[in-house]
Chain A
Amino acid sequence: MSTTNGARWSAIRAVSRFETAKLLAQWPTRLLPLVCVLAPVAFGLVLRIQSGVPADTLFGVWVHTSGFAVPLVILSFAGAWGFPIIAGIVGGDMFASEDRLGTWKTLLTRSCGREEIFLGKALTAFAYTVAMVVLLAAGSMLAGVVATGTQPLVGLTGQTVSSGNAAALTVASWGIALLPALGFTALALLISALTRSSAAGMLGPLVVALAMQLLGLFGSGDIVRTLLLSTTLDAWNGLFAAPSYTRPLAWAALISLCYITACLEGAWLSLRRRDIAGTGSEERTWGRQLRVSGVAVAVVALLGVVSNLGPTSVTATKLAHSIESTFSNLAVLQQEDLGRHVPPGSHLGNGAVCSRRGVRDTQRGPGDDWLCSIYVPSKSLSQPTEVSYDVTVKPNGCYTAEGPESFIGPLTLHRPNGQTVLNPLFRFSSCFEVAP
């Protein structure tokens, strides 16, 4: 019996090789790498043949301006839907398939112990997830470069990010997203072990991700939001702000690790003392699935109730500060698009005031009722011109601002060379740092 650490790791590696061979022998997991590469490439091809942009997504308006915006848009989608789907396919069937096929009794009567089999399976699921995220990232980068090119990127604060920096930050963003992706895989492993159902294991992460997004979207309090795994997917946003903020990165790592640890511990507890008592247990499996689903629904309901508890980090001051800088940088960009000479380091020197309409507390909280007035100095007038933007702010500090056409111009602009580009001030998205 394996007693030394060396023998133990050797057994875990053997289990991992065994599980990898099984994954590669099944069509869903064999197809997944192909999808991870081809789906972004297909997205890139669609971008090439149409002029529309996914304007509701961060960096969406810039997909025709810089190729680096494409992998960031895909990262936003992948975080919301792609990672839970990958987790479900890779991890959701990892334990449940042994129940479905009745193969626990074959697998657990080998020379490897339960712990080694568990760790080998978890290791395989994580390694496969990492491989899929890397392929997705590589496919996205390729799609961006092929569809648009390697031009400098417009950052979240409207600043210009050089091509080299944009490439490095994009790679870093995908790297940061690995931990939440592994968190979803750990969640899939937990659901797979608890419910013993392949269907629940594969769909569960997607359902949980959806529930988390809804909680994150509608809950205005910071407490629940900061504890959600879905929140950690936004951690990379601060890398593209000026000045950049990196505190969410550490928090995302901590939360992701907590999810990974808790889910793995739960799955191990479920397997460790389990009796593999044979067939005829379909009714018990259904009962088990109902119990697990019941507990999950109760937890989500409870979180829904308390999601508004606690303070909110969305404040008028933070929003005004962010929108002022972003507007200023984008205004410079707009002038350059129009072929006007802008001296390096130019700044509008504007100010901004934000408040909410129709609510009791006009100075804080997420919502689509923010109004920000930006004051633009004018050479011809003694008073600065007031430009009002309707702003929708999400609980994660990201917002979308839409301005009046009368002042900022139409949706599209014509560059002196005849090229049509989106007016950067017409509708822009940005983010500011929120708790923790």
Chain B
Amino acid sequence: MAAYGLSKRYGSVSAVDGVDLRVEPGAVHGLIGLNGAGKTTLLRMLLGLVRPDLGEIAFFGEKPSPAAGLDGVAGYVEEPRFYPYLSGRQTLALFAALDGGDAPRVDELLALVGLDRKAADRRVGGYSTGMRQRLGLATALLGRPRLLLLDEPTTGLDPTGASELRTAVRGLAEDGVAVLMSSHDMGAVSDICSAVTILASGRVVWDGSMERLRAEAPAAEYRLETSDDAKALALSASHPGVRARADGASGLVVAAERDALDGFVLALAAEGIAVRRLAEVASSVEAMFLALTGGSTP
């Protein structure tokens, strides 16, 4: 999939501004940005739900016709929505028939996304957000897409569900499916993405492989609470590879590679400063993301 110069304005607000994007076969491509960065609008344009003001899109080397349906491309934006009076199984069977697909795949997909028989036979109106996410993925996979566009797919899923979804996405990519997956949480997708595009205020602020992102990323950030924060802050200045700043009324935010951090903690102990709490608040890629998007450490 390739998109060139995609732009979309809503009144005076520029939702997406000149975005170039390329997703390779077999890649899991992260589309990362804070809320309101333009991720969903971009996905809507790619899925044909919204007409771009400017720019072009090509799937598999061809420009899609505005009047035609999606061929080899599937996905969803925001929380998937369905007909509340149909069961999950009926929904899948109807969409399978609509896509000219095969009904036997319904059971296979229900199993893949982790919707058991009881849940599948319940009306969708009673589904939780997580169950709708699972059904959304199953619906998207009905037509055996070669390109899958998923908008915040782990929203509403419990940790186990989110992990299962990531495993499923990884499996699809191994089968050659290109996956474009949006998220506002860099940490949640960094372990499965092979490439990322970071959006801020509708514009691409970083684009490249995950490998390059890691290489360019600054040190991870930690929150440090000690028995004497002022003294610890002063001590950090004399430690190469350690950058610290006060974080509110108490505690410090320390940016450092692991080895430098180990040395700093030992030095604190040697100075008689007790370390009361040390926790990672942003991995190196998250720190990079926050720096690029102007976000703040949680």
Binding site for B on A (CB under 8 A): 1-3, 10-11, 14-15, 17-18, 21-22, 25-26, 101-106, 108-116, 273, 275-279
Which of the residues B41, B67, B74, B86 comes within 8 Å of A113, measured between beta carbons?
A: B67
Residue of A nearest to B41 (CB): A277
Query: Across the interface, which residues of A come within 8 angstroms of B293, CB to CB?
Result: none
The yes or no answer to B4 lying at the interface (CB within 8 A) is no
- Asked if A101 and B81 make an inter-chain contact with CB atoms under 8 angstroms apart, the answer reads yes
Using A1-B69, A1-B71 as known contacts, say yes or no to A110 and B95 having CB atoms under 8 A apart: yes
Using A25-B86, A278-B44 as known contacts, say yes or no to A112 and B81 having CB atoms under 8 A apart: no
**Chain B interface SS verdict (over half):** loop
Cα A104 to Cα B50 in complex, Å, equals 12
Instruction: Tell which of A11, A114, A277 has the most Cβ of chain B within 10 Å.
Output: A277
Residue of B nearest to A97 (CB): B83
Of residues 106 through 154 on chain B, the ones whose CB sits less than 8 Å from some CB of chain A are 136, 139-140, 143
Using A25-B83, A277-B10 as known contacts, say yes or no to A109 and B97 having CB atoms under 8 A apart: no
Mind listing 8 A-B residue pairs with CB under 8 Å?
A: A1-B69, A22-B86, A26-B85, A103-B82, A105-B77, A111-B100, A116-B69, A276-B44
The yes or no answer to B49 lying at the interface (CB within 8 A) is yes
Residue of A nearest to B40 (CB): A278
Using A1-B71, A111-B100 as known contacts, say yes or no to A106 and B50 having CB atoms under 8 A apart: no
Which of the residues A101, A105, A115 comes within 8 Å of B49, measured between beta carbons?
A: A105
* Number of cross-chain contacts by CB at 8 Å: 106
- Asked if A110 and B68 make an inter-chain contact with CB atoms under 8 angstroms apart, the answer reads no
- Asked if A110 and B97 make an inter-chain contact with CB atoms under 8 angstroms apart, the answer reads no
- Asked if A102 and B81 make an inter-chain contact with CB atoms under 8 angstroms apart, the answer reads yes
In this complex, the interface size class of chain B, counting residues with CB under 8 Å from chain A, is 35 or more
Cα A18 to Cα B49 in complex, Å, equals 20
The yes or no answer to B51 lying at the interface (CB within 8 A) is yes
Which of the residues B44, B67, B70, B81 comes within 8 Å of A110, measured between beta carbons?
A: B70
Residue of B nearest to A114 (CB): B67
Please give 16 more A-B residue pairs, beta carbons under 8 A apart, in addition to A22-B94, A103-B81: A11-B69, A11-B100, A18-B95, A18-B97, A18-B98, A25-B83, A25-B90, A101-B81, A101-B84, A102-B81, A105-B76, A105-B81, A106-B76, A110-B98, A276-B50, A278-B44
Of residues 253 through 267 on chain B, the ones whose CB sits less than 8 Å from some CB of chain A are none
- Asked if B98 and A14 make an inter-chain contact with CB atoms under 8 angstroms apart, the answer reads yes
Residue of B nearest to A22 (CB): B83
Cα A314 to Cα B276 in complex, Å, equals 100
The yes or no answer to B25 lying at the interface (CB within 8 A) is no
Query: Across the interface, which residues of B come within 8 angstroms of A273, CB to CB?
Result: 51
Residue of A nearest to B47 (CB): A109
Query: Across the interface, which residues of A come within 8 angstroms of B80, CB to CB?
Result: 106
The yes or no answer to B99 lying at the interface (CB within 8 A) is yes
The yes or no answer to B12 lying at the interface (CB within 8 A) is no
The yes or no answer to B271 lying at the interface (CB within 8 A) is no
- Asked if A109 and B98 make an inter-chain contact with CB atoms under 8 angstroms apart, the answer reads no
The yes or no answer to B161 lying at the interface (CB within 8 A) is no
Closest 9 CB pairs of A and B: A1-B68, A102-B81, A276-B49, A113-B68, A112-B69, A111-B69, A113-B69, A275-B50, A18-B98
Using A25-B85, A102-B81, A105-B81 as known contacts, say yes or no to A275 and B49 having CB atoms under 8 A apart: yes
Cα A69 to Cα B49 in complex, Å, equals 53
